[in-house]
Structure 1
Amino acid sequence: MSSKIYFGKNKRFSFRRSALSIASRLHHRIAPKHALKTARRIFLTPAKGKENNAAPTSMVIKAVDTSEGKMMTYQLGSGPVWLLTHGWSGSANQFFPLMEHIAQAGYTALAYDHPGHGKSEGKEGSIPAFLNALDGILIHQDEIEGVIAHSMGGATLLESDHVCLHGKPIILVAPVLKYWENLFGTVEASGYSMKLFHAVVEDVGKRYNTTIESIDPFEKLAQRQSPITIVHDRGDKFAPFSVSELATEFSHVSLVATEGLGHGRVLKSDPLKEAFLRIADKA
C-alpha cells in the first residue's frame, strides 16, 4: 500500500471517505474473516516503488536467509560496515548513490530489501517483520560501524536491541518517530473501519507474539545511549519535521534541517552525505 495511508495528513471530509467507512464496517459485520483478510492486504502490502538508480558495477548482490525468508542484500566498498535500512514501500535501491559516497570514504555500505519490498521474499510488511529481517541481517555481521535508517526503517531500528547496535552512531533520515500517532490518526481520517484496523493490528501481534501498540520509536530514541543525528526536511509531507525538532531535547540527538527535499530526495542530498562524513570521522 502507498505510504499515504500510513503517513498522510489529509483529514478533510469527503464522500469517498464516508463511503469507505460504511463499506468497510459492513464488510466486517457480514463476512469478518474475509474482511480481515482484505484489510491485511490493504495495510500490510507495500507498494512497489520504482528503482531508478543503477547498481554500481562493483556492488555485490546476494540473498541472506532470515526468519522472514530470503532478504536481498547489496554491498559496496571495503572497510568498516555501515548498515542502511529503508522505509515502507522503499527499497535498498534508494541508497545506491549514498552507498557510493560511503564506499569512496573508505567504508563498506551494506543495504538490504525488507520483507515484501524490493527483491526480497515475502508479501507482507510490518515493524515486527522488519525487526526479524534486521536481526537476520545483523547476525551475519561481526561488527558494524553505524547505521543509516530512512523513515519507517528508523522506527524499526530504534526498536531493535541487537548487540551489534549497542553504542553505535545512528543517522535517522526523515524518521517517523510518533509512528502510532501518525498511523492511527491517518487510518481514522481515511474513513476505514478502526475496529477492522485494530483487528489487523491484533492479528499481527499474535503472529509475532508481541503487543504492536507498545512500539514507541520516540521513547526508544530517548533511551538510546549512542549519538543520533537526524536529517530531516522541513517540508516533509509524510513524517512531521516538528517531532524531529522535539527530539533535540535529548542531549545525544542533533538535527540537520534541509529545505525543498521532501521525504525521499533527502537520501541523495549533500547535507546527508556531509552528516555521514562528520560522524564517520568521529567513530
Structure 2
Amino acid sequence: MSSKIYFSQSKRFNVRKSMVNMTTRLHHVLAPKHAKKTARKILLTPVRSHQPSSLPENLLKKLVETSEGKMMTYQLGSGPIWVLGHGWSGSASQFFPLMEHIAASGYMAIAFDNPAHGQSEGIYGHLPGFIKAFDDVLDALEEPIAGVVAHSMGGAMILESRHSALEGKPVLLVAPVLNYTENLVTMVERSGYSSKLFNELIDDIAVEYQCPFDSINPFVRLESRQSSAIIVHDKADKFASFELSQQASEMKHVQLFATEGLGHGRILKSPPLLAAFDKITQSA
C-alpha cells in the first residue's frame, strides 16, 4: 500500500476521508476495471528508497531470478548464513549497519530488496509477492541458513513463509507487524478508500497467489514455531503494535527486547538490535 496511506498519522489526511471514500466508490461504480487498476497503483505501489552513497566495504551485489522478477541481493561476510528481510517501502540498505555487525561476528549476512523495492524488479508490492520472492531467494542459496532477521512487514513475510529452510531456525524480529491483516484493513479504512474496491483487489491477489487474506496471521504463526525468537520493539512505535510484541513474549520460545525513543525505523541502527543478534546467536 502507498506509504502515504500506510504510514499516514496526520489529522489533515483524516479530514479528507469522506471525499476519498465518495470519489473511489463513484469511480468503482462508473468504471470498475479502471477503478481497480487505479487502486492497484495507489494501494500497492511502495516508495523506492535510494541506496546510500557509501556502501559497506566488501559488499557483494547479485541479481537473483525469482517468480516475481529479478531481486537484488546483498552479501557481506563469510560463515553461517543469516538472511534479512525488510518491510514496506524499505530496502536492504536499512540493514547495512546490522550486516556489518553480523559479518564481524563471523557470519554471512544476505539481504535482498523485495519486489518493487530498492533495486529489485517489479511495479507493485504485496505480502504474497514478498513471500514468493523470499522463498525463491532461499532456494537460490547454496548453503543452509543459520537464521533470519526481519523488520516490520518483513516479519509477516518470514512468519507466513512455509519454506523448509526455515524449520527449526531462530528468528530475530524487529518492530514486527504481527497483526498484518487487521493493521492493513485499519489503515485503508482510515484513509477513506472504498472498502469494496480494496476487498476486490485483495481477492484478486488471493486467487493469483492461492493465499486467502483471512488465512494470514503472523501472531499465530509465531506461536506455532518451535525455534527461539527474539523481538526488538520500541514502546512508542506508531506503525507496529508494541502491545502485540509484549503478548508474544509470553510464549516460551519468544524473548522481547523493549526499547525507548527509537521508533519504527531508527531501531534498525540501534545497539539493542546488535545485542539481540548476539543473544540469539549465543542461544541458537
* TM-score under structure 2 length normalisation: 0.95
Greater Cα offset, 23-32 or 273-282: 273-282
State the match for 1:127 in structure 2. Answer: 127
- Separation (CA, whole Å) in 2 of partners of 1:199 and 1:209: 15
Determine the structure 2 residue equivalent to 1:100. Answer: 100
Aligned to 1:188: 189
Number of residues of Structure 1 aligned to a counterpart in Structure 2: 283
Per the TM alignment, residue 7 of structure 1 is displaced from its structure 2 partner at its CA by 5.2
Q: CA-to-partner distance for each residue in 1:149-196, whole Å, 9 max, x for gaps?
A: 000000010001111111111000000000111111121121110000
Displacement after TM superposition at 1:14 (Å): 4.3
Paired AA for residue 70 in structure 1: K
Q: CA deviation at 1:51?
A: 3.0
Alignment of 1:34-183 (within 5 A): 34-52=34-52, 54-141=54-141, 142-183=143-184
> What are the ranges of 5 or more consecutive residues in structure 1 without an aligned counterpart?
none
Does 2:262 match 1:275? no
Cα contact 1:67–1:136 (8 A) shared by 2: yes
Supply the AA of the counterpart residue of 1:136: D
Superposition pairs for residues 159-238 of structure 1, below 5 Å? 159-238=160-239
Q: Which moved more, 1:6-15 or 1:224-233?
A: 6-15
Alpha-carbon deviations, 1:61-96, whole Å to 9, x = none? 010011111100000000000110000000001001
- Asked if 1 retains the 8 angstrom alpha-carbon contact of 2:89 and 2:117, the reply is yes
What secondary structure sits across from 2:211 in the alignment?
Answer: coil
Equivalent pair of 2:67/2:136 in contact (CA under 8 Å): yes
Shift of 1:205: 1.1
Give unmatched runs, 5+ long, in structure 2: none
Instruction: Please give the root-mean-square deviation of Cα atoms over the aligned residues, in Å.
Output: 1.6
In structure 2, C-alpha distance between the alignment counterparts of 1:53 and 1:241, rounded to whole Å = 33
SS at match of 1:145: strand
Inter-partner Cα distance in structure 2 for 1:149 and 1:279: 14
- Structure 1 residues 55 and 226: alpha-carbon distance in aligned structure 2, compared to 1, 3 A threshold: same
Contact 1:53 1:96 in 2 (8 A): no
CA distance in 2, matches of 1:182, 1:12: 20
- For residues 118 and 37 of structure 2, the distance between their equivalents in structure 1, rounded to whole angstroms, comes to 23
Rounded Cα–Cα distance in structure 1 between residues aligned with 2:255 and 2:187: 28
Instruction: Determine helix, strand or coil for the equivalent of 2:140.
Output: coil
CA distance 1:13–1:103, shift in 2 (3 Å):
closer
Deviation at 1:57, TM superposition (A): 2.6
Separation in structure 2 between the aligned mates of residue 92 and residue 183 of structure 1, nearest angstrom: 22
User: Which shows bigger deviation, 79-88 or 245-254?
Assistant: 245-254
Cα deviation for residue 54 of structure 1 reads: 2.2
